Structure 1
Amino acid sequence: MSTSFAFEAAKAEGRAALVGYLPACFPSVEVSIEALKVMAGAGCDLIELGLPYSDPVMDGPTIQAAVQQTLDAGARVDDVFRVLEAVAATGTPTVIMTAWNPVERRGVERFAQQLHDAGGAGLITPDVTPEAVPEWSAAADARGLDKIFLVAPSSTDERIAMTTAACRGFVYATAVMGVTGARATTSELAAPLVARTRSLAPAGLPVGVGLGISNGDQAAEVAEYADGVIVGSALVRAVLDHPGDRTGALAALSRLTEDLADGVRRGVRS
């Protein structure tokens, strides 16, 4: 199921979509599946699964800590696809976010086929640009998978136009410069970046904003101008704060997701 489904359904309700991120297999394969299903049930319109990788690309300290736990526990790429299959089966569009190296090591065609077979909607590739990976675009196009690339406040107009032309599903706008992490306030760079991206992107391509959103009030603020509100570190922290306490972690995750889902519904669309 394409990510477009999530954005179209949210738009029909006059709101932004809520995109929730957790590393796959964190803190274990089984609890990871439970946690992601909780997020979907509590209001996430789209799920973003992080593929655990030893060389962080955008990850701040919170996500790095979670990923390291997962790697230390022996998580493998095939485990990520197990989690993906279980979550996608709920009917919530689910994408993988990964550094490019694991895709290249597995083989682009093989990775794309496994992603498709597991019910995945597409792939977010934060460390490559579209022209650098034509083999991924070809493999994705052959299987109807979404291609989600990133734009940033530092992106030139030419780069934004080229990147968004290559996207399918949505474009990921990184609202702050630097690594991920929940912040006390949202970035003042976010709204101008969204406006600039919309002016340069193909008509109708949704723009999701990520990095720094940690509560419902911030989600409401971003939902006023973005098509999607992407939350990662705050959700990861909800699990990290309950080590060994599955029940407590899932309850905290549910409360936070409900708060964020309420936020995107409170945001008045501009």
Structure 2
Amino acid sequence: MPIFFASDFHLGTDARTSSREREREVVRWLDHCVSEGADAIYLVGDLFDFWFEWRHAVPRGHVRFLGKLAEITDGGTPIHVFTGNHDLWMQDYLPRETGVTLHYQPVVHELQGRKLLIGHGDGLGPGDYGYKRMKKVMDAPWAKWLYARLHPNLAMRLALFFSHKSREGQPSEAEFNGPDREWLVAYSERRVAQDPSIDYCIFGHRHLPIDYRLSNGNSRYINLGEWLNYCTYLRLENGEASLLRWDDTVAVPLYRGGAANLAINRES
């Protein structure tokens, strides 16, 4: 039975399509996973462009997505959700209301006879020290307490403003920068050197679908891409991982061992 992985839906912000239309596509993809007999579904961070849980309120919208999560878990299919840098303030709302299992840190799971290291990917590897310092502050209980004192209207407006500004300041994500400049490749190399039995290092965050064979010749670093433009995901079946595209309207770079290949498998 296949296992599916996806990340970086960024629901709440418009891109190639509106957030509402992207939410409908995500729901159709989740239905597809169930129809294929999914053994489990892993949603690996940045599901929302911003998320915060006040004591008696959560951000409005996303009802189709949240309802589908509850429907799938009620049907017996486990869903694992990882926090990302845009929704790191998830607490107990999703587990309690939709039945998902929530992860705050990368995990190692053994699935279909393979060992997988799975995480969102923010703040891992060398570099990005400014974000790492900021994340320590944002993870502090006092920071969450102070932010919860803001009225949700102001808090959401501020968060979405800075979320959009952070994307404007980022360099182009459309090119593979080589193993020496890809922080998650470096992180994966280090983890595999510590544990050579890891078969797949699966992350999001990078926004570029990548399938890169690591230096030991066996393990692979796979980035899930995103749904703002690429709509890519991973299917694990019989221990073999395949990067696929749900939407066939965009040419997707797929990197294998550093070589670009514009052909990507597709399911629809």
TM-score bin (small chain): 0.3 to 0.5
Q: Which protein shows a greater Rg?
A: 2
TM-score (ref. length: structure 2): 0.41
Q: Report the structure, 1 or 2, having the larger helix content.
A: 1
TM-score (ref. length: structure 1): 0.41
